[in-house]
């Protein structure tokens, strides 16, 4: 069987946290330097002459562990009232003398109000190699008897000389510097300070510190039973606990009744909530239906317009086809009438004239056929050039015609845009306009007269004749 090592301390003689070093600065008659006692964790006996400062050191240790307002200072020397207080220890009051004029007692002090006091105690638990340092810093402000203070709890070894000096003239600089140290906690009130060091020391009950305070300056025990009952045992306020238990039961009972009432209210309100949700859903659905109904008119109008536009396009295409057929029929009718006339004339003429007429007709029809083939080829070439498919049927022809018209419109628009560039050619165009007019007049003159004499010569001749 394997034995697990347990972390027990070596012995019980020095078990727990014990005082290893205690330091004071400017406390009572211990002034101007750091005063140190070093029990090193052992039991120690503090002795000295009357007035040497034994009670002052005991009060310093008590101040580190017990709330100040509960301490009767100088109790170890037999004081029963407020003979001393924090102010007297910080100022270093050591005697009283009468004023020559008022005959009133006046305290004589070792220090002024511009000094500060430090109490520091370092405790160690050798069994677990743990150390805790407690410190309190006091200073006077605005000539008040109640001193300012802050509290320090450190899980490391601190000293007054090494950590509470050389900070300048502002005590707050010292406080800031201590806060920056590792494992050091700076607190502003005794409650948090006491909670912190009791946690580190493992002191679960404040009664232990109360017992320490009652016994640290005790000169005689008297009745041991009364001492244990009054100082070592916690008071048991059974009536208070019973009253608190009764109040807690009443509170819980009222809370239980409130919960039951809330459950009943929820059960009654649940159907109403469901009806409200259903009402909201119906209102929303009704609104959607109304919106759909209002949107039907424009929707149907759009569909009707789309169908009408399709019918219009179809009717326009049919009209174009009918117009084309009408033109073809009229052309064919004209040709047939001309043919009828020719036939009637041929009947009247002789046979030679008839043959010549037929030959002329064949030649005419051949030219018409060739012209149509040429135009068909030209149409196919132009259609391909324009990106249109060759017409294989009448519908293809009219479709290409409509697409061609759209293309013509597009090209016309492009042409209109290109005409803007003709401004630069305006001067040249004006220059050519006169020549064009002259040539037009010459051509028109040649058409009207039988001779080939130029118009200019004719004009000169006419002017000479008029003279």
Instruction: Identify the pLDDT of residue 380.
Output: 78
d(CA 442, CA 80): 152
What is the widest separation between alpha-carbon atoms in the chain? 184
Please identify which residue in the block is written with the tokens 């009972």.
Answer: 253
Considering only residues 409 and 330, tell me which one the structure prediction assigns the higher pLDDT.
330
Q: Per-residue pLDDT tens for 86-99?
A: 888 888 887 877 76
Instruction: With residue 130 as reference, give the H or E element that holds it.
Output: strand 130-139
Supply 52's token pair: 């040497």
User: Is the pLDDT score of 25 beyond 90?
Assistant: yes
- Which residue would you say has higher pLDDT here, 347 or 147? 147
pLDDT value of residue 3:
39
419-453 pLDDT, tens digit each? 666 665 666 777 677 777 777 777 777 777 666 66
Poorest-confidence range of 337-341, 362-366, 409-413? 409-413
Residue 139: predicted pLDDT: 92
**Residues 185/206, Cβ–Cβ less than 8 Å:** no
Q: Which two tokens stand for residue 355?
A: 């043959």
Q: Which residue in 59, 19, 68 sits closest to 42, CA to CA?
A: 19
The alpha carbon of residue 367 and the mean position of all alpha carbons in its chain are separated, in whole angstroms, by: 87
- Cα separations in angstroms, 40 against 30, 55, 124, 201: 21, 21, 9, 17
| pLDDT surpassing 80 at residue 224 | no
Q: Please state whether 406 falls in left (phi above 0), alpha (psi between -120 and 50) or beta.
A: alpha
Round to whole Å and give the CA distance between 245 and 250: 9
Alpha-carbon span 406 to 414, nearest angstrom: 12
- Percentages helix, strand, coil for the chain, rounded to the nearest 5? 60, 15, 25
DSSP letter at 219?
S
CATH T-level fold of 18-204: N-terminal domain of mukB (3.40.1140)
43-47, 61-65, 122-126, 413-417: least confident range: 413-417
**Which tens digits make up the pLDDT trace of 225-277?**
766 666 666 666 678 888 888 899 999 999 999 999 999 988 888 888 888 88
pLDDT score at 222: 62
Integer angstrom CA distances of residue 453 from 445, 447, 464: 10, 12, 16
- Could you tell me if 132 and 156 are in contact, meaning their C-beta atoms sit under 8 angstroms apart? no
């Amino acid at each position: 069987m394997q034995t697990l090592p347990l972390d027990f301390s070596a012995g019980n003689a020095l078990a727990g946290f014990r005082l290893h070093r205690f330091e004071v600065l400017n406390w009572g008659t211990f002034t101007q330097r750091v005063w140190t006692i070093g029990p090193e964790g052992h039991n120690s006996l503090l002795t000295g002459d009357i007035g040497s400062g034994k009670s002052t050191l005991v009060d310093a240790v008590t101040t580190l562990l017990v709330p100040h307002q509960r301490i009767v200072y100088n109790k170890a020397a037999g004081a029963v009232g407020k003979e001393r207080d924090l102010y007297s220890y910080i100022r270093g009051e050591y005697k009283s003398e009468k004023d020559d004029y008022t005959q009133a007692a006046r305290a004589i002090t070792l220090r002024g109000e511009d000094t500060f006091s430090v109490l520091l105690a370092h405790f160690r638990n050798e069994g677990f190699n743990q150390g805790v340092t407690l410190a309190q810093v006091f200073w006077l402000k605005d000539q008040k008897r109640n001193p300012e203070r802050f509290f320090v709890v450190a899980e490391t070894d601190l000293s007054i000389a090494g950590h509470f000096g050389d900070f300048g003239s502002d005590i707050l600089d010292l406080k800031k510097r201590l806060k920056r140290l590792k494992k050091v906690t700076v607190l502003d009130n005794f409650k948090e300070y006491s909670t912190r060091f009791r946690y580190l020391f493992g002191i679960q009950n404040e009664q232990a510190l109360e017992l320490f305070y009652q016994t640290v300056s005790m000169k005689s025990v008297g009745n041991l039973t009364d001492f244990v009952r009054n100082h070592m045992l916690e008071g048991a306020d059974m009536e208070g606990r019973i009253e608190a238990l009764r109040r807690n039961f009443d509170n819980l009972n009222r809370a239980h009744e409130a919960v039951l009432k809330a459950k009943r209210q929820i059960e009654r309100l649940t159907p109403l909530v469901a009806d409200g949700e259903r009402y909201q859903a119906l209102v929303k659905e009704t609104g959607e239906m109304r919106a759909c109904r209002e949107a039907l008119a424009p929707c149907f109008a759009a569909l009707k317009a789309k169908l009408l536009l399709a019918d219009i396009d179809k009717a326009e295409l049919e009209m174009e086809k009918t117009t084309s057929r009408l033109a073809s029929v009229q052309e064919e009718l004209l040709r047939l009438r001309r043919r009828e006339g020719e036939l009637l004339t041929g009947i009247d003429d002789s046979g030679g004239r008839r043959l010549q007429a037929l030959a002329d007709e064949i030649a005419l029809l051949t030219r018409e056929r060739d012209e149509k083939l040429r135009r068909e080829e030209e149409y196919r070439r132009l259609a391909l050039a324009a990106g249109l498919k060759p017409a294989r049927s009448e519908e293809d022809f009219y479709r290409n015609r409509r697409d061609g018209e759209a293309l013509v419109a597009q090209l016309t628009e492009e042409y209109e845009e290109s005409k803007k560039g003709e401004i630069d050619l305006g001067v040249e165009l004006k220059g050519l306009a006169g020549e064009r007019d002259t040539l037009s007049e010459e051509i028109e003159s040649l058409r009207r007269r039988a001779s080939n004499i130029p118009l200019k010569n004719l004009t000169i001749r006419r002017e000479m004749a008029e003279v």
